């Protein structure tokens, strides 16, 4: 490539923009690079010559953007989760002839973990559909837990698979999730995505190694650090509305335990038109609790080396925890901080990564 950027966002789609010479596609069948059927695989080979996948994004460009003057092509692509946006969660693959029967069916799961529900959602949107299979490795769909979900067959407008997955991440205690690409063979000729979901006990993404960045060391892997404060999510009381109209609208409310004496009340309203009846009210209440925040959120921006000896990119991921050592900042105390990586931006061809971090906020910080 001659230019490109890749962005990972926690609980969101990877986004890729890449430019390369038009001659690179000479003799390559269009099915490899056309809308939906083609996928751009981004890998990184570190100093020890180990090649790791950083992202795998199906192409979203209907046609490549051609620059005749510079003889280049530009493609846009997004993570595989983007393919799940128009997929509907159903009990089976209905045809036009038996679509009327769909109204009375439900995809109902109970006594399951959030991880099992996420797996069920993806399975119902992929493997049971004609031409619907995607190379995604799912966690167990039968893992036991305390959660239940019902997706009515008639409710196709709200049963998009990606919408249902996002819903799981938004409720109080809901897990983070990620479709993580990996090699499917030792020769690196095939890849697959693995759906990674936090557990009911630990909602964040599991990680097998610690990430450590010391911004105060003379030999640091951190080239810059800055802090911004985001108060847009501040809300001491959240009202959540659902389906219905007028006095019959579904409604729930959540409040923080204590409002700081020096701060005036801040209220917020969220909505989910799919929520109705008692089950919907419980879902709204959970979403309202998840939207509460009694303070602004400090966001730490880091620029880090892509290939330090111990932790090259591809060995750590957006959504994981990092131990970041800071010093000399007015808004952040000196010392070690455990920060959640919420966004990672890669400039392809560069040896640095821009990382956005936030203080790890656990649900136990609130008393309901």
Residue 181 pLDDT exceeds 90: yes
Pick from 61, 263, 68, 282: which is nearest to 167 by CA? 282
* Under 8 Å between Cβ of 150 and 279: yes
Confidence of residue 296 (pLDDT cuts 50, 70, 90): low
- Residues of the chain with pLDDT > 70: what percent? 95
**E strand residue ranges, the chain:** 3-9, 15-21, 39-45, 51-58, 65-67, 72-78, 106-112, 136-137, 147-152, 177-183, 191-197, 211-214, 222-230, 237-241, 251-255, 267-271, 297-305, 321-326, 335-347, 352-359
Pick from 316, 364, 365, 362: which is nearest to 341 by CA? 316
Q: What is the model's pTM? A: 0.82
Long-range contacts of 257-264 (CB under 8 A, 24+ apart): 257/366, 257/367, 257/368, 258/294, 259/294, 260/294, 260/295, 263/236
> Considering the domain boundaries, does residue 62 fall inside one?
yes
Pair 284, 313 in one domain: no
Beta pairing class for 335-347 and 191-197? unpaired
Pair 120, 68 in one domain: no
Pair 338, 224 in one domain: yes
Q: What pLDDT, on a 0 to 100 scale, did the predictor assign at position 207?
A: 87
The residues that bridge with 356 in the sheet, in sequence order, are: 301, 343
> Considering the domain boundaries, does residue 74 fall inside one?
yes
pLDDT, tens digit (0-9, with 9 covering 90-100), for 127-145? 999 999 999 999 999 999 9
**E strand residue ranges, 140-190:** 147-152, 177-183
Q: Which domain holds residue 280?
A: 237-290
> Considering the domain boundaries, does residue 320 fall inside one?
yes
Q: What pLDDT, on a 0 to 100 scale, did the predictor assign at position 361?
A: 47
**Hey, what are 125's tokens?**
């949107």
Pair 155, 224 in one domain: no
Write down the mean pLDDT value for the chain. 88
> Considering the domain boundaries, does residue 192 fall inside one?
no
pLDDT, tens digit (0-9, with 9 covering 90-100), for 10-30? 999 999 999 999 999 999 999
Pair 222, 354 in one domain: yes
Q: Would you tell me the crossing angle of helices 161-170 and 114-125 to the nearest 10 degrees? A: 170
Highest mean pLDDT among 189-198, 203-212, 217-226, 292-301 belongs to 189-198
> Considering the domain boundaries, does residue 197 fall inside one?
no
| CATH code of the domain containing 349 | 2.30.300.10
Last residue within a domain, chosen from 30, 60, 80:
80
Non-local CB neighbours of 152 within 8 Å, separated by 6+ positions: 105, 106, 159
* Under 8 Å between Cβ of 11 and 166: yes
Last residue within a domain, chosen from 58, 80, 102:
80
Largest CA distance in the chain: 69
User: Which of 153-157, 158-162, 198-202, 332-336 bottoms out in mean pLDDT, i.e. has the lowest?
Assistant: 332-336
Can you list the alpha helix ranges (DSSP code H) found in the chain? 114-125, 161-170, 277-290
Q: What pLDDT, on a 0 to 100 scale, did the predictor assign at position 360?
A: 65
**Hey, what are 56's tokens?**
């795998």
Pick from 65, 77, 67, 13: which is nearest to 39 by CA? 77
pLDDT, tens digit (0-9, with 9 covering 90-100), for 342-360? 999 999 988 889 999 887 6
> Considering the domain boundaries, does residue 118 fall inside one?
yes
Length of the chain: 368
Pair 211, 328 in one domain: yes
> Considering the domain boundaries, does residue 188 fall inside one?
no
* Under 8 Å between Cβ of 14 and 344: no
> Considering the domain boundaries, does residue 52 fall inside one?
yes
Q: What pLDDT, on a 0 to 100 scale, did the predictor assign at position 364?
A: 34
Tell whether the torsion through CA atoms of 259, 263, 265 and 268 is positive or negative: negative
* Under 8 Å between Cβ of 52 and 314: yes
Pick from 195, 203, 279, 283: which is nearest to 240 by CA? 283
DSSP-assigned letter for residue 101:
G
Pair 336, 304 in one domain: yes
Pair 159, 90 in one domain: yes
From CA 338, how far away is CA 195, in angstroms rounded?
Answer: 25
Pair 218, 341 in one domain: yes
Question: What is the arithmetic mean of pLDDT over 302-306?
Answer: 86
Look-up of token digits 């962005």 = 7
Pair 257, 336 in one domain: no
DSSP-assigned letter for residue 160:
B
Counting the structural domains of the chain, the total is 4
Which phi and psi (to 5°) does residue 100 adopt? -65, -30
Pair 74, 96 in one domain: no
Question: What is the arithmetic mean of pLDDT over 232-236?
Answer: 81
From CA 109, how far away is CA 88, in angstroms rounded?
Answer: 16
pLDDT, tens digit (0-9, with 9 covering 90-100), for 68-121? 999 999 999 999 999 999 999 999 999 988 888 998 999 999 999 999 999 999
Pair 143, 215 in one domain: no
How far, in Å, are 113, 146, 270 from residue 267 at the CA level?
32, 30, 10
Using CA atoms of 268, 237, 155, 123 in order, give the dihedral in degrees to the nearest 10.
110
Last residue within a domain, chosen from 18, 48, 80:
80
Residue 367 pLDDT exceeds 50: no
């Amino acid at each position: 490539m001659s230019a490109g950027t890749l962005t990972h966002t926690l609980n969101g789609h990877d986004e890729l923009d890449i430019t390369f010479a038009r001659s690179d596609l000479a003799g390559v069948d269009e099915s490899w690079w056309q809308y939906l059927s083609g996928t751009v695989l981004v890998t990184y080979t570190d100093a020890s010559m180990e090649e790791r996948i950083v992202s795998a994004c199906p192409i979203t460009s209907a046609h490549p953007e051609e620059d005749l003057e510079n003889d280049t092509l530009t493609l846009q692509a997004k993570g595989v989760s983007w393919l799940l946006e128009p997929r509907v969660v159903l009990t089976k693959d209905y045809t036009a002839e038996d679509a009327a029967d769909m109204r009375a069916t439900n995809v109902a799961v109970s006594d399951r973990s959030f991880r099992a529900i996420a797996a069920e959602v993806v399975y119902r949107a992929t493997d049971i559909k004609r031409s619907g299979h995607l190379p995604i490795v799912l966690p167990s769909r039968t893992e036991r837990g305390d959660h239940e979900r019902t997706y009515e067959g008639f409710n196709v407008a709200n049963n998009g698979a990606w919408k249902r997955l996002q819903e799981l991440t938004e409720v109080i205690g809901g897990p983070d999730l990620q479709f993580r690409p990996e090699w499917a063979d030792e020769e690196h000729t095939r890849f697959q995505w693995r759906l990674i979901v936090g557990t009911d006990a630990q909602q964040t993404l599991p990680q097998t190694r610690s990430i450590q960045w010391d911004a105060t060391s003379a030999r640091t892997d951190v080239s810059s650090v800055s802090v911004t404060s985001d108060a847009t999510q501040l809300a001491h009381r959240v009202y959540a509305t659902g389906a219905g109209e007028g006095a019959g609208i579904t409604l729930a409310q959540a409040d923080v335990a204590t409002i700081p004496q020096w701060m005036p009340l801040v209220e917020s309203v969220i909505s989910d038109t799919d929520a109705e009846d008692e089950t919907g009210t419980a879902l709204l209440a959970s979403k309202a609790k998840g939207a509460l925040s009694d303070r602004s959120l400090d966001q730490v921006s880091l620029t880090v080396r892509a290939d330090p000896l111990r932790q090259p990119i591809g060995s750590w991921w957006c959504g994981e925890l990092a131990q970041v050592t800071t010093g000399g900042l007015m808004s952040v105390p000196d010392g070690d901080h455990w920060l959640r990586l919420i966004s990672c931006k890669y400039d392809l061809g560069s040896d640095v990564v821009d990382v956005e971090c936030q203080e790890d906020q656990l649900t136990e910080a609130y008393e309901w």
